[in-house]
Amino acid sequence: MISRPQPDEYSAYAARYVDLVGDGPILEILGEQKDSTYQLFTGLHLAKEDYAYAEGKWTIKQVLGHMADTERVFAYRALVFSRESITLPGFDQDVYMENTTFNSRTLEDIANEFKTIRESSLYLFKSLTDEQSKQKGIASGNPVSVRAYAYMIAGHELHHINILKERYL
């Protein structure tokens, strides 16, 4: 079981994600999100998938693609830090978005990719010992623990689901 990270295990910026996550078991939360987010995106009318709420904002397909990209990066960092304490660079979400093909794909395809990434993340987090989950490394110039990434993944998803519900749907 992965316990909730302490505030010194993630940056002040990441707190905005960690703080969105409830007090239940994180692996259950991630599993429930996998299903509810998949259903949300696959249940949208096709006319909505290319919608952006303002000029220069991401489309719904891009938002989901960004969520998938971010989870991959966070899970990779969790894997690396569970094995060794090193320093990893940050990633610029806008540069990543400029180099994607999300808008040329179907929303269902991206939703399937997202669901598969989440399943992979769950396998990773389930395989960790308590000691491994507490190990830290440096990412984007900040110390962060492996278990913080489990919460950051869940919170990042909640953050974007909230924005979708407020501005897109």
Q: What is the pLDDT of residue 80?
A: 98
Percent helix, strand and coil across the chain, each to the nearest 5: 65, 5, 30
Run of H or E including 80: helix 60-83
C-beta pairs of 71-75 under 8 Å, 24+ apart in sequence? 71/114, 71/117, 71/118, 71/121, 71/153, 71/156, 71/157, 72/117, 74/149, 74/152, 74/153, 74/156, 75/117, 75/120, 75/121, 75/124, 75/149, 75/153
pTM above 0.85, yes or no: yes
pLDDT (0 to 100) of residue 1: 85
* 119 Cβ contact list (under 8 Å, min separation 6): 34
Please give the pLDDT value at position 16: 97
SS3 138: strand
Position 161 scores a pLDDT of: 98
The pLDDT score that the predictor gives to residue 7 is 97
CB 104 within 8 A of CB 86: no
Mean pLDDT per 10-residue section of the chain, whose length is 169 residues = 96 98 97 98 94 96 98 98 97 95 97 98 98 98 98 98 96
DSSP-derived letter for residue 2 is P
Rounded CA-CA distance 1/35 in Å is 20
Distance CA 116, CA 118 (A): 5
